Amino acid sequence: MPQNNNETIMTLLVYPQDRKQAEILTELFREMKVRFEYDDISYEEIDRAFEKGMRDIAEGNFFTHEEVMAEADAILSGKVTTD
């Protein structure tokens, strides 16, 4: 969470080509004092997740932007709980 109003949070997905590139990027983020998190998952897992996502899209198993925004509005207004 932001510690003050001058802090920005963003999500950046990075898929390094190999372990060496991952080490270089990790060191770069540390030198820049960028707070970051990472998961050390295999390329096979990434490929499986990508393929599943593509199948879901092809089969229509996804929410539209409008549906997501309507649900977010309902949650924020207290009409729906996330429990």
Q: Per-residue pLDDT tens for 50-62?
A: 899 899 999 998 8
Q: Per-residue pLDDT tens for 73-83?
A: 888 888 766 65
Please compute, for residue 60, the number of CA atoms within 13 A of its CA located in the half-sphere on the CB side. Answer: 0
Based on its alpha-carbon atoms, the radius of gyration of the chain, rounded to whole angstroms, reads 18
pTM to 2 decimal places: 0.41
Q: Where are the domains of the chain?
A: 19-76
Query: Using H for helix, E for strand and C for coil, what is the string for the chain?
Result: CCCCCCCCCCCCCCCCCCHHHHHHHHHHHHHCCCCCCCCCCCHHHHHHHHHHHHHHHHHCCCCCHHHHHHHHHHHHCCCCCCC
